[in-house]
Amino acid sequence: MAKKWSELMARMPAERRAGVARRTEELVREMPLAELRNARQLTQEHLAKLLRKDQSAISKIERRTDMYVSTLADFVRAMGGDLEIRAVFPDGVVSISQFAAIDKDAA
């Protein structure tokens, strides 16, 4: 008989539960576009309609490692989010503001 996830977690030692929670948070913070789209419960076809593109174009975007910031911003916006670009340094994080105009121009 299948066990409920909540029951299995309840039986785990607190230290192990904390480790699982940390790893889950790490995985959620970093994911490829295709996984993000799936997590948002969107299909390539649906996203293609929102972006007025072919499904094959969405597939290509998801496989790219280099693209225009505006393309990425459009993709994220179509999923219901906002793209933020930050520079992370040992002594702090800085939001790069010059790309904010892309969002305003596209809206």
Each residue's pLDDT tens digit, 41-77? 999 999 999 999 999 999 999 999 999 999 999 999 9
| pLDDT value for 28 | 63
State pLDDT tens for residues 1-43: 677 878 887 888 888 888 888 877 776 677 899 999 998 999 9
| pLDDT value for 5 | 77
* Closest alpha carbon to 104 in 82, 85, 78: 82
89 in helix, strand or coil?
Answer: strand
| pLDDT value for 2 | 72
pTM of the model: 0.67
* Closest alpha carbon to 93 in 104, 102, 103, 84: 84
- The full set of domains in the chain, from first to last, is 31-106 (1.10.260.40)
**CA dist., res. 51 & res. 37, Å (int):** 13
* C-alpha to C-alpha distances, 86 to 22, 23, 70, 93, 98, nearest whole angstrom: 22, 23, 15, 7, 11
Spatial CB neighbours of 67, under 8 Å, sequence gap ≥ 6: 61
| pLDDT value for 24 | 73
